[in-house]
Amino acid sequence: MFLGRQYSVLPFVNELTCHRSKSMLVAKMKEVLKGAAMNKSMEEQKSELESEVDEKGEPFRKFFVMPERRLRAQQDILRMTGRDIQTKKPPRNLYELTSVRRPRREEMETDQDWPSVWPVAASFRASVVPIPVRMGTRKYPEKKPPFKTVGNLELVKIPNFLHLTPEAIERHCNAIKKFCTKWPSELDDSVELSETNYPVMVSMSDYVHQGTSLRDPRSRIITIKIKLSALNLNDSAKEKMMRLVGDRYCRETDVLTLITDRCYTRKQNLDYAIYLLTALYHESCKVESWESMAERADALEVRFEGSESEKIAVKVAQSLVSPEGDDLEMSSPSLDKPDESIGAKVKRFGVSWEKYRNEKETPETVNEYEAAVRDLLAIPSLEERKATQ
């Protein structure tokens, strides 16, 4: 509907310009503003606009500020007055209702090939899983059970392991079995053989938990263990290695443990751990010029070899033996052995002496040191004296 009103036209309206200044719409607007088209009726103006076209042959199109549709109040008025014509939808065909397929979970058989249904990791789909799974919480769980499987977003959020059934794992193993070699049984029977061939042991952990992600920050931690004896280091290099690693080395088991967790991924931490082990090995084997100036007091451990205790032990052992080589005290069972020499006694005493001085004092180390001193001085124990009497 077009409504005509008279407006006071300002002087500058005559200077109206437009990009399409030669179009008929602009000309009509100028006529309306000048008052030339006021004598035409509404029907004439409407027919002219509908019949006229521009230079490109495009007709005049209406411009609606609001969509041309009925408002809710207008529809209510038409319905109450009986002027609203409603078109009734035809009833649905019974064949169309019965032709809709049921959910797939209702048509599955109990002996179906499940790895073919769920071959890879995917989000939970209620239309495929034939299990009545419920998940979620209710305000009153004693009155209402958890939410059903269909439309349950809680089941979609969490990861699932429906693709890792025993049958699927067996198929994967059989597929990659031809690319693998059989594990030698000798390594399982002999621990020493396995440590000789595989001295480096790498440990990592995988975590399974309920959450929005499969990744756990603790799974990136890498632990590497190796015995220092497997590195074939000399005494100087071993001492430097022990100084560099600090408390990461266990003297009792001779095992060096390196734990890396500063990188974001497991692969990065593994590479960093191998780099640390390589750097420690080369730094330990490196010989500096100032190392020749080291003294016995600078050593990490007290050594029996070259010490005053070694000289005293040798003198004491020699004083207990006659110049002809006969024992002065044959009552000691340790000196009754003809193939035992003074050097063997002193060496055995030195091992116990170093262990007693460098390690933590325990009843075992004290008893071992006592036995070594008795053996060196040829002093029988109380049990041996009672047995000889």
Spatial CA neighbour of 250 closest among 282, 233, 225: 225
Question: Which residue did the predictor score with more confidence, 125 or 86?
Answer: 125
Per-residue model confidence (pLDDT) at position 314: 82
What b/e readout covers 339-348, taking b as 16+ CB neighbours within 10 angstroms?
eeeeeebbeb
What residue type is assigned to position 167 of the chain? E
pLDDT of residue 363: 84
Highest-pLDDT range among 90-104, 123-137, 337-351 = 123-137
Chain segment 228-285, per-residue pLDDT in tens: 999 999 888 998 898 899 899 998 889 999 999 999 999 999 999 999 999 999 999 9
Sign of CA dihedral 128, 133, 134, 135: negative
Contacts of residue 162, Cβ cutoff 8 Å, sequence gap at least 6: 118, 122, 124, 129
Mean local confidence (pLDDT), 99-105: 79
DSSP category for residue 85:
-
CB 148 within 8 A of CB 124: no
DSSP letter for 135, please.
B
157-179 per-position pLDDT tens digit: 888 899 999 999 999 999 999 99
Ordered DSSP codes for 157-210 = HS---TT--HHHHHHHHHHHGGGS-PPPHHHHH-HHHHHHH---EEE------S
What is the dihedral angle through the alpha carbons of 81, 83, 87, 91, rounded to the nearest 10 degrees? 30
CB-based contact 287:294 (threshold 8 Å):
no
Q: Which residues pair with 257 in a beta bridge?
A: 225
pLDDT per position as a tens digit, 44-55: 767 776 677 777
* Crossing angle (nearest 10°) for helices 363-377 and 342-358: 160
Structure confidence at residue 325 (pLDDT)? 46
Q: Which of 340, 350, 353, 356 is nearest to 314 (CA)?
A: 350
Check residue 311 and give left, alpha or beta (phi > 0: left; psi -120 to 50: alpha).
alpha
Distances (CA, A) of 166 to 105, 131, 209: 21, 17, 20
Calpha distance 365→367 (Å, rounded): 6
Between these two residues, 136 and 25, which has the higher pLDDT value?
136
pLDDT over 80 (residue 328): no
What pLDDT shows up at residue 332?
A: 39
Q: Once rounded to an integer, what is the mean pLDDT over residues 200-229?
A: 88
User: In the beta sheet, which residues pair with residue 202?
Assistant: 224
Nearest to 309 by CA among 255, 346, 254, 363: 346
Question: How many degrees, rounded to 5, is the angle at CA 30 between CA 25 and CA 31?
Answer: 95
Alpha-carbon span 314 to 347, nearest angstrom: 10
* 58 pLDDT higher than 50: yes
Residue 36 is predicted with a pLDDT of: 52
pTM of the model: 0.49
Q: Which structural domains are found in the chain, ordered by start?
A: 12-87 (no CATH), 104-178 (no CATH), 191-208+216-287 (3.30.160.20), 304-319+338-387 (no CATH)
Least confident among 91-105, 106-120, 320-334: 320-334
Pair 194, 201: CB distance under 8 Å: no
Residue range 280-301: mean pLDDT, rounded = 82
Tokens of 118: 């769920």
Q: Are 134 and 149 in contact (CB under 8 A)?
A: yes
